[in-house]
A and B are shown apart, each in its own frame.
Chain A
Amino acid sequence: MYSNYTFDGGSYRHKELIELVEDLGGYVISKYILSNEATITFTVPSPDMPRIEVLAKELGGKIKNTPLLGTEIAVVTPTLTRHHLPHPLCDIAEFLRRGGANTNMIGLARGTGRRTAQISQRERDLIEEHDVAVVALGNFKRCIDEKIGIFLDLNVPLVISALPYPYEVSGCEYVPRMGKFPYKFKQIGELKILDEISSAVERCLNHRREEIMLDPPVVPPFVVKDEIEQQVEEAKYIMSPGGIALRLNGLRVKLPFDVCSDAILQVRVAGFTVGEICTIERSRLHNHILLDMRPRSMVESAFESTMQAEKISVLGEV
């Protein structure tokens, strides 16, 4: 079982850490070197972690557990206006990023009002591309009662935050006391609310991880990421930050779908091609490439049936 961590420390001798991670069978997910500072996120088998900790101590750096690493989370707000957006949403997104997640902030085009609030099919598809959606609603219980309906039927694990308490919603995680406040959270009592949101997201992800582990993919997504980076020439020149973003059960490759999808399907991973172990889709976000890992049973049955078909054709020729 792999666990995710972040190393914060000096850039001097950071290559030793990377080498050790790779020797232990782990993967470096991202590496940011800013002058003398290095921030490296990586995943390693859990039993080998003490060895990394020893090296990190020797290098004078800190190791932080980042449970949300390798996930993509949508932070959804009714609109992108100042009435809904700046402070609480940025706080939520920042706290999720501290946990290692990639966050995308999504404002609905017609999410304002109580009776008039709407969500379009395109927005729905866009939110459902993510692993978890965090929806930040407002202050009044009565308004939330009516407005919450447009989000509840999203086909994605949902965390809803709003001010009213006590308040119960079925079918999602609800975090109270997080209303439409006009300031950034600073006090310890306030930061606790953000921690609650982060742990609610973690619970949703763990639930999803358990589902995936019932029939896991052939290789974890970060292995596919590593191979794409090595085998696809265009992947080396992606200008977007975090060129290949990890999702819980797949990847988002920030390359144009029409140009690069064929090259990515041909990448070889553990004896298979990406086309065999993943389904490929066009993202609603900037035409990116979305890869979803197929479960192991599906890949193996497909492999066996092709082998049988090959055998039959060979026998026919004989």
Chain B
Amino acid sequence: MTVYVESEDELGALAMKLLTEDVITNLAISRSVVDVREYIDLEVPIFYIEVVPTKRIPRVEVKDVLTVKETGTGCFDVEIVNERYAPQLLELMWSEFGEDNVHQIERNRLKLTKINLEDIMNLPIGEMKKNELMTVIRDMIFRIVPIGFRVIRNLSNDDKIAYIASENPILDEQIQWIEDNVLSRQPRELSIDRTELIPERETKPRRIVTYKEDII
């Protein structure tokens, strides 16, 4: 994962880079994010952020998540094997089959009535993991975007999640300008590093203790 932050104020950009890296670490998504690119125009002011998520997100199959046992005609005992998806699954089943037909008996056991087996196996849960990751990435973005920049436009597409934010109305020309002048070229690395932010520690020369002295 690489984080690129571009701005005319390099010191601020470096602080923003640290902030981004820390938010990604906190949310534990550093392996799910390939690239993060930020552009900060202090004149307008405008903040652009794009995140490229990894494409290796496994699809979730019903058989991986549920074990289904038929107990009668149209009645099934369903056990949620992977509890990670339990809240989303329950919500999905209630919306697909109706709340009267889906009863939660225990924490991870459901009783379904008036339902075909095929309907259960065809539940649209394949994108569940991807959707979960996208939600976390959006959360990450809104932790990074300056809080005062309330005017936000979504510029996401299939390959990336991108947002542009400002405290003033965002014009199409501004977006076009960023696309033409910033996104069309390779991202630039910052010329300063973390040592510029924090003054270095004054180190005193250490006294080396010989083996014999140590014993004494």
Which residues of A pack against B, CB within 8 Å? Answer: 78-79, 81-84, 112-117, 138-143, 163-165, 177, 179-183, 187-190, 192-193
Contacts and interface: CB of A to CB of B under 8 A. Distances in A.
Interface string B145-158: 01111100000000
5 contacts: A114-B45, A115-B168, A139-B9, A141-B9, A193-B199
B138 interface: no
Given A79-B147, A114-B45, A142-B9, A180 B201 contact: no
A230 B155 CA distance: 67
A228 to B, nearest CB: 42
B22 interface: yes
Given A177-B198, A189-B201, A83 B143 contact: yes
A152 to B, nearest CB: 19
B15 A180 contact: yes
Interface string B17-36: 01100110010000000000
A182 B12 contact: no
Nearest to B8: A142
Interface in B25-51: 26, 40, 42-43, 45
B16 interface: yes
B19 A188 contact: no
Given A82-B143, A142-B42, A193-B199, 15 more contacts: A114-B148, A117-B148, A139-B9, A139-B16, A141-B11, A142-B45, A143-B45, A163-B11, A163-B12, A164-B9, A164-B12, A182-B23, A187-B198, A189-B199, A192-B199
Contacts of A163: 11-12, 15, 197
B143 A181 contact: no
Interface in B174-196: none
B166 to A, nearest CB: 9
B167 interface: yes
B200 A181 contact: no
* Closest 8 pairs (CB-CB, A-B): A113-B148, A112-B148, A140-B12, A182-B22, A139-B12, A139-B15, A83-B147, A142-B42
Contacts of B167: 113-116
Contacts of B9: 139-142, 164
A9 B39 CA distance: 53
A179 B199 contact: no
A143 B42 contact: yes
Contacts of B198: 177, 187, 189-190, 193
A181 B15 contact: yes
Contact of B197 (A116, A142, A179): A179
B12 A141 contact: yes
A188 B22 contact: no
A180 B168 contact: no
A138 B9 CA distance: 13
B96 to A, nearest CB: 36
Contacts of A79: 147
Contact of A182 (B18, B45, B146, B197): B18
A140 B42 contact: yes
A140 B149 CA distance: 14
A67 B26 CA distance: 38
Contacts of B23: 182
A177 B14 CA distance: 12
A116 B42 contact: no
A187 B150 CA distance: 35
A84 B147 contact: yes
A138 B12 CA distance: 8
Given A139-B15, A142-B9, A177 B197 contact: yes
A141 B43 CA distance: 12
A192 B200 CA distance: 10
B15 A179 contact: yes
B201 A187 contact: yes
Nearest to B23: A182
B19 A180 contact: yes
A143 B166 CA distance: 13
Nearest to A142: B42
B19 A182 contact: yes
A61 B100 CA distance: 70
Contacts of B42: 140, 142-143
A142 B13 CA distance: 12
Contacts of A115: 167-168
A148 B19 CA distance: 22
A218 to B, nearest CB: 46
B164 to A, nearest CB: 16
